[in-house]
Structure 1
Amino acid sequence: MRTSNMFVRSLGVYVPESVSVEQAVREGWYPAEEAEKFRQIGAAVAGDMPAPEMARLAVLDAYDRWGESSPRDLDLLLYPSVWHQGPNGWQPQHYLQKHLLGGNVPAFEIRSGCVGMISSLELAASYLQAVPDRETAMVVSSDNHGTPLVDRWRMTPGALIGDAAAALILGKGHGMAELLSVNATVIPEADAVNDGAYPLFPPDATIGIGLSFGDRHEEFRQRLLKAQGTGIHLTIQKTMMQQVEQTLDEAGIELSDITRVALPHGRREDLDGQMSWLGIDEDQTTWDYGRRVGHCGAVDQFIAFEHLLATGGLVAGDHLLMVGFGSGTSCAAAVFRVLSTSPVTTGARA
């Protein structure tokens, strides 16, 4: 979707301190041989801070650092989430309404996995474009995986699981970056990649079954061997490339115009494949940052975006490509053009 007149007004994050792989090895949480093999450095760990509270801090960061007026001026709040947010039957967006927004802002939780923040940008942009008087929307996501059903050091072989929150304010007319295009799609035939052949009822968490993608992926691999392959991984690759090509085309640029590519903070072998598909080098990716904080749910690309802006990895005129994947399986892509690395006020029209 070509997103005309859509700008990132502000970007806020909450990323707790990382626990190093060295400490994890000393404590017996992480095998020493995997530390050397997979080249991860650490994972951001939030302790007992609730995910919605991290989200609140990310929202405040977005307003404090970028000079926006008030969360109560929003026209829409979307809250993508991956892991459990609080009590069963309770929704995290209402926590932000109580503590920040008030009750006049339409607010919805989005459940589309680790691709949730990118795909929610498409929903937010569509919502704003539908009515001329709508000016701003917020997409905020947060996850604290430090629960008994997750072992952040072993849940996904080759990757570490981190905790973090990010909040992006999308608005018309001006901002520090322009959202040029965003697209999201689902690959329904890839549903079995992450389901582990588990029964749909009762849900795992209700009977105390932990989340292990390593086990699920191995179960799927065994199914592929018995079926002599399905070509599903090639389908996922082709779909990702189609999403990237469409998004770049709508943005009016080529891949050679892209300064940096923000990918999920996952396994090195996955990154190698993605770099090969896209024809990019490691220094164009956010690998060095991602392996210090871990895979943080739906916010990976956005905390990396903030990191690049803060450290000079992106400057005015640069283009950022985001690519995301969600279990299910879904994929999404978005392209931004950086306009400024400092606050842009209403008077400074794009």
Structure 2
Amino acid sequence: MRTPDIYLRSIGVHLPPVVSVETAVAEGRYPADEMEYFRLGGAAVAGDVPAPELALRAARHAFERSGGMSPRDLDLMLYADVWHQGPEGWQPQYYLQQHLIGGDVLSVELRHGCCGLFSALQLAAGYLRPGGSALLVGADNHGTPLVDRWRMIEGNVMGDAGCALLLTTDTGFAELRSVNVVVLPEAESVNDGGVPMFPPDATVGRPLDFAARNREFRKRLFARDGAGVMLAIQTTLMGLVDRTLKEAGITLDEVARVAFPHGRWDDLEHRGVNWFGLTLADTTWDYGARIGHLGVSDQFVALDHLLSVGALARGDYMLLVGLGAGTTMACAVLRILDVPQEYAPGG
């Protein structure tokens, strides 16, 4: 989807303190024999701060950086998440409406897995009219009884964060050139673990263990046509990236950095960057390994990090790639028009 006249006005991030893998090992939470191979640094851990509060803090940060935008001027708010946000029957966007933007803005929660903020980008780009603006927020706190953040994904750990994007149709520091989200239905069962759909896991206290579920999926998959599905994932993702780059009017050679989900390095290397002729150094893996997989926020928190360390300059293109359950795949291209003052040394 081409996205003319859609700009990123500001990014807000609330990243809790990082608990190191060494600390997790010392406390018996992370397997010591995996440290050397997986090379993880730690996970951002929010403690008992609710995910909607992480989102609120990130949204306030985005408005502080926006150069004078008001929450009351928004036309749309989309709230993306992957894990439970609060009381059942309650929706987290209400919390931001109560404490930040008011009740006159269309506000919707999106549950589209780890590609949720990409889906929010695509929806907002199609919704906004000239002069319009949108707030896209993503937040998750995985530190709950049904999740073991240190072991639920082999080779990776789960981090917590709030992230907020302010989109406008007039001006911003980055231009959204294109965005696409697609689904590969053949891999729909990748995360179901072979367990019944009813009653839902959370209502019976069944823990979320992606490591076990992925093993179960691969067992079922390769008993049928595993090679075919894996090839379909590769073909679909490569086609999606190619289409998104063409819509943006660039080639991969023109991209300065690529942000993938924060995952295990060997999966990224063997089933990600190699497909595109990249190396891990072309990506944000090193940063992601220090803070964990943040649910919906990985690529956008990484973008903020790259700006803060001076790794992106005016005129640079950044490619953001998403993968999620479903199997969902997403891709977006941003062009940096200017580096905001807050990212300058001492800014």
Structure 2 length normalisation: TM-score?
0.96
Percent of aligned positions that are identical: 56
- Give, in angstroms, the shift of residue 233 of structure 1: 1.4
Equivalence map 1:24-103=2 (5 Å)? 24-103=24-103
SS in 2 for 1:232: helix
Q: Distance in 2 between matches of 1:228 and 1:252?
A: 36
Q: CA deviation at 1:229?
A: 3.0
Map 1:73-222 to 2 at 5 A.
Answer: 73-128=73-128, 131-132=129-130, 134-222=131-219
Cα-to-partner distance string for 1:89-111 (whole Å, 9 max, x where unaligned): 00000100000000111000001
Q: Is the 8 A contact 1:176 1:343 kept in 2?
A: no
Question: Are positions 1:314 and 2:312 aligned together?
Answer: yes
Match of 1:341 in 2: 339
Letter in 2 for 1:238: T
Is the 1:181–1:250 Cα contact (8 Å) retained in structure 2? yes
The equivalent residue for 1:348 is none
2: distance between equivalents of 1:8 and 1:247? Answer: 18
Match for residue 300 of structure 1 among 278, 294, 298: 298
Residue 241 of structure 1 and its aligned partner are, at CA, apart by 0.8
2:96 maps to a residue whose letter is: L
Q: How big is each residue's C-alpha offset from its partner over 1:305-338, in whole Å with a ceiling of 9 and x where there is no partner?
A: 0000111011111110000011111100000000
Number of residues of Structure 1 aligned to a counterpart in Structure 2? 341
Q: For 2:232 and 2:334, how far apart are their aligned partners in 1?
A: 26
Secondary structure of 2:176 counterpart = strand
Aligned AA (1:145): H
1:222-264 CA-partner distances (Å, limit 9, x unpaired)? 1134325351111111111111001000000000000000100
1:113-165: per-residue Cα shift (whole Å, max 9, x none)?
0000012100000001xx44x51011100000000000000000001100001
Q: Distance in 2 between matches of 1:10 and 1:325?
A: 24
Deviation at 1:55, TM superposition (A): 0.3
Cα distance between partner residues in 1 of 2:12 and 2:245: 25
Q: 2:324 aligns with which of 323, 326, 331?
A: 326
Q: Which amino acid aligns with 1:21?
A: V
1:9 touches 1:68 (CA, 8 Å); kept in 2?
no
Instruction: Describe the superposition over 1:60-111 as per-residue Cα deviations: whole angstroms up to 9, x where unpaired.
Output: 1111123232111100000011000000000000100000000111000001
Q: Any unmatched runs of 5+ in structure 1?
A: 345-350
Q: Tell me which amino acid in the other structure corresponds to 1:217.
A: N
- In the alignment, which residue of structure 2 is the partner of 1:254? 251
Secondary structure class of the residue paired with 2:273:
helix
Query: Which AA in structure 2 matches 1:337?
Result: R
SS in 2 for 1:298: coil
- Give the distance between the partners of 1:165 and 1:14, measured in 2 at CA: 5
**Separation (CA, whole Å) in 1 of partners of 2:111 and 2:237:** 20
